[in-house]
A and B are shown apart, each in its own frame.
Chain A
Amino acid sequence: MKKKKIRELLKKIGLYSFLLIGVIISMFPFYWMFIGATNPSGRIFSIPPNLTPGDHFFENLRNLNDTVGIWRVMFNSLSITLLFTLFSVMICSAAGYAFAKYRFKGRNAIFFTLLLAIMIPYHVTLIPLFKLMADLEWLNTYRAVILPHLSYPFAIFLMRQNMKAIPDSLLEAARVDGAGEFRIFFRVVLPTMRPALAAVAIFLFMFQWNNFLWPLVVMNSSDMYTLPVALSSLVGMSRIDYGQIMLGTTLSTLPIMIFFLMLQKQFISGILGGSVKE
């Protein structure tokens, strides 16, 4: 009896220490980033490493604002991300609803084409899209960043999977009551789909907030930079101020971290939705 208990205890210790080491490895870079954001550049590279917060937060913020105009950049990132999320959720859920709940000509062919697009590397569209934006004279505008990925195939796919759960009888009942198709969508379908909408919205929000390559290509004046682009411009400078950079990375990570911590259940189920089920 006792032996068994000891063995169980040892197993537990092994399990927890393995996982704790994993947690330290995955969380330490974040801690390091917060430390760096509050310290002057020099102290980030001191030996032995300095692991305590400093008092340089506001100085770093001032410097960061002098070099990249951080408030403007934050405003760009936030506006682009919010507008993108709002429109993309509407467009993708409407499409997902149609694919899940209507039978119409071409449904399977169109849906299959969309699915195929998930496999196509992002980079293939990069150059023609850039040329298109240049021809339209849309470079350095919000719409150049927002429009191209609004119709996000993965989001359409997730919405369709979720919409399938709505019972047809509910829709029929609404029709018998004389509700039009639009009314049904807005008044019956969307309210019941709130958890799925939240999951997809978080997913799209994260995608756009962290998006780097496309904004890098279309935003070439510094007052239109998004956070990731502004951060990468800091790395390219001749004299790198790491205090500024660490604060910049913190500002780009912290909002998304808080957002994620609040909504992690929905987010994780959003990622898994439809993909893992057999």
Chain B
Amino acid sequence: MEQSVKPKKKRKFITPKTAPYIFIAPAVLLFVIFTLYPVISSLILSFQRTTGGVTEFAGLANYIRLFNDPLFYKALSNTFIILIIQVPIMLTLAVILAVFMNSALLKMRGFFRVAFFMPAITALVAYAIIFMILLDENYGIVNYMLNLLGFDSIAWLNDPFWAKVSLIIAVTWRWTGYNMVIFLAGLQNISSSLYEAASIDGAGKIRQFFSITLPQLKPIFLFTFVLSTIGTLQLFDEPFILTGGGPNNSTLTISLYLYMNGFRYFDFNYASAIAYVLVIIIAILSWLQMKVVGDKE
């Protein structure tokens, strides 16, 4: 009987004190090697210059070159034009879809949700290729439809203006449903008593939307806004496949320009400087958006 009393605990290596460190060790180790180290290394690279296999400190040379590089400004402005037009269109569409989907009149909600979400799960490469074919100037189905409706064909991918529009359409197609699902979750968290009180006070549906739904969705707006901004600033796969940055660099994005400098011209130092400008822009924008959209949250 006495034997069943537990023997005195041996000094074990894994105790409640050491266990958390063991649990986080693999994640932290991999993170340090494959994220933290590259982030720092990239910063150092951006201050260096490599000529004939010799690497030396170059001060701000890469950054100065960057600020005198018309192509960089082109990439920057392209990215911002896409950002400013695409993100509001997409989020507006997503909110409208979410409100409609939340309607009590609607059945088969699950079906609609899946159908709208589907674009977000496809490989970027796959959908960019499909859009390339759909938007073909001579044989694409989109121009065929336009012709049927009596419009002229549009040189979607071969005209600087329409190439940007094509990118905006493609990105909107892919991500609207994703944002809709996030908004839908937000809508379901709004207490129905708010709407009941409002309709007793005689507020119509549209009035309710602007004075209850939108304010209540504010944190979600902030969340989707920041995510979409970061996503758009990193836009790469679509212009890479769809237009290759052309025509006439009209769809050259910052990420694409970074990739070209790094892996086509193998100018790692210059590409690293581009990467760091991107980091700074994302940091500033995220901070601004949090200031503007979400008060103290």
Report the separation of the CA atoms of residues A6 and B64 in the bound assembly, to the nearest whole angstrom: 68
Please give the distance in Å from B7's CB to the nearest CB on chain A. Answer: 11
Asked if B182 contacts A276 (CB within 8 A), the reply is: yes
Report the separation of the CA atoms of residues A115 and B179 in the bound assembly, to the nearest whole angstrom: 21
Q: What is the count of residue pairs linking A and B with beta-carbon distances less than 8 angstroms?
A: 271
Q: Which residues of A sit under 8 angstroms from B279, Cβ to Cβ? A: 120-121, 124
From A14-22, A63-71, A190-198, give the one contacting chain B: A14-22
Q: Which residues of A sit under 8 angstroms from B223, Cβ to Cβ? A: 275-276
If the complex has contacts A22-B116, A127-B271, A147-B34, are A175 and B14 also in contact, measured as CB distance less than 8 A? no
Question: What residue in chain B is nearest A232 (Cβ atoms)?
Answer: B125
Kindly state whether residue B230 has any CB partner on chain A within 8 Å: yes
If the complex has contacts A30-B118, A131-B268, A264-B114, are A231 and B125 also in contact, measured as CB distance less than 8 A? yes
Asked if A98 contacts B20 (CB within 8 A), the reply is: yes
If the complex has contacts A98-B24, A180-B14, are A127 and B97 also in contact, measured as CB distance less than 8 A? no
Asked if A33 contacts B130 (CB within 8 A), the reply is: yes
Q: Which residues of B sit under 8 angstroms from A175, Cβ to Cβ? A: 16
Q: Which residues of A sit under 8 angstroms from B123, Cβ to Cβ? A: 209-210, 212, 227-228, 231, 249, 252-253, 256
Other 17 A-B pairs with CB < 8 A, given A260-B118, A276-B220, A278-B219 = A15-B105, A32-B141, A94-B26, A122-B234, A123-B275, A124-B42, A147-B30, A148-B35, A153-B31, A212-B125, A227-B123, A228-B123, A232-B125, A252-B123, A256-B121, A276-B182, A278-B189
Partner-B contacts on A (CB < 8 A): 8, 11-12, 15-16, 18-19, 22-23, 25-27, 29-30, 32-33, 36, 44-49, 91-92, 94-95, 97-99, 102, 104, 107, 110, 113-114, 117, 119-132, 147-151, 153, 156, 175, 178, 180-182, 185, 206, 209-210, 212-213, 217, 227-228, 231-232, 235, 242, 245-246, 248-249, 252-253, 256-257, 260-261, 264, 267-268, 271-272, 275-276, 278
Q: Shortest 8 CB-CB distances between A and B: which pairs?
A: A45-B139, A102-B20, A128-B38, A181-B19, A125-B38, A95-B27, A98-B23, A128-B41
